[in-house]
């Protein structure tokens, strides 16, 4: 074999994973189990058998490690930011992830074809609305779905009127 699965430099996400495991007192098996994964999943990642985990895996690991998937998978500065008490960033990131996930879920359930530009516009619109509403945290996340339905209904009416 000319090449191994490992590259010359360790990916940021693996460095972050190792650092957070150390800080939080996890070994590979305990983190795998705590995240609801196969008992050898984290060991396999650390051994270089995974180039980049699926989002649901990153989300489970991040939750077990007390961070966000974006911070876990990002550069070292972002994962270290979790210990800075940067709750506003975390809340905003969680809200944006929730908006995107719910928007995708609802458009798929309604069998709607939405261009990437329209999808991004809708996500940004909802995000701005929710930030302007002044609510925060879980209350803000709970109100995502009704806003998406309202926006999709509006878009349907707008498209019909344009015909």
pTM score: 0.46
The domain 12-84 is classified under which CATH number: 3.40.50.300, 3.90.1150.10, 3.10.20.30, 1.10.260.40?
Answer: 1.10.260.40
- The band of 141, judged by pLDDT with boundaries at 50, 70 and 90, is low
Greater model confidence, 5 or 12: 12
Q: Which of 54, 66, 124 is closest to 95 using CA atoms?
A: 124
Q: What is the pLDDT of residue 75?
A: 67
Mean pLDDT across 137-154: 76
Would you say residue 9 has pLDDT above 70? yes
Domain ranges of the chain: 12-84, 87-162
Radius of gyration of the chain (CA): 19
Phi, psi of 63 (to 5 degrees): -60, -45
Range among 104-108, 133-137, 158-162 rated most confident: 104-108
Q: Residue 42 contacts by C-beta under 8 Å, 6 or more apart in sequence?
A: 17, 21, 28, 29, 31, 32, 35, 61
Centroid of chain to Cα 98? 8
CA-to-CA separations, 131 to 23, 98, 101, 105, in angstroms, rounded: 33, 14, 17, 22
Q: What is the pLDDT of residue 36?
A: 95
Q: What is the pLDDT of residue 33?
A: 95
Would you say residue 59 has pLDDT above 60? yes
Q: What is the pLDDT of residue 34?
A: 95
Mean pLDDT across 75-93: 55
Would you say residue 126 has pLDDT above 80? yes
- The band of 27, judged by pLDDT with boundaries at 50, 70 and 90, is very high
**Encoded tokens for 76:** 């070292």
* d(C-alpha 15, C-alpha 46), whole Å: 9
Given a contact cutoff of 8 angstroms between Cβ atoms, the answer to whether 102 and 145 are in contact is yes
Greater model confidence, 106 or 139: 106
Mean pLDDT across 20-26: 90
């Amino acid at each position: 074999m000319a090449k191994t699965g490992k590259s010359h430099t360790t990916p940021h996400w693996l460095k972050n994973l190792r650092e957070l495991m150390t800080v939080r007192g996890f070994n590979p098996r305990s983190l795998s189990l705590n995240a609801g994964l196969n008992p050898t999943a984290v060991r396999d990642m650390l051994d270089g058998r995974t180039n980049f985990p699926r989002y649901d895996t990153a989300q489970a690991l991040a939750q077990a490690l007390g961070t966000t998937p974006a911070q876990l998978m990002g550069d070292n500065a972002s994962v270290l930011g979790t210990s800075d008490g940067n709750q506003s960033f975390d809340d905003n990131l969680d809200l944006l992830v929730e908006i995107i996930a719910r928007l995708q879920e609802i458009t798929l359930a309604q069998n709607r074809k939405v261009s990437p530009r329209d999808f991004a516009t809708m996500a940004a619109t909802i995000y701005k609305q929710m930030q302007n509403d002044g609510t925060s945290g879980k209350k803000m996340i709970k109100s995502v779905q009704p806003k998406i339905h309202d926006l999709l209904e509006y878009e349907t009416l707008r498209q019909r009127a344009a015909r």
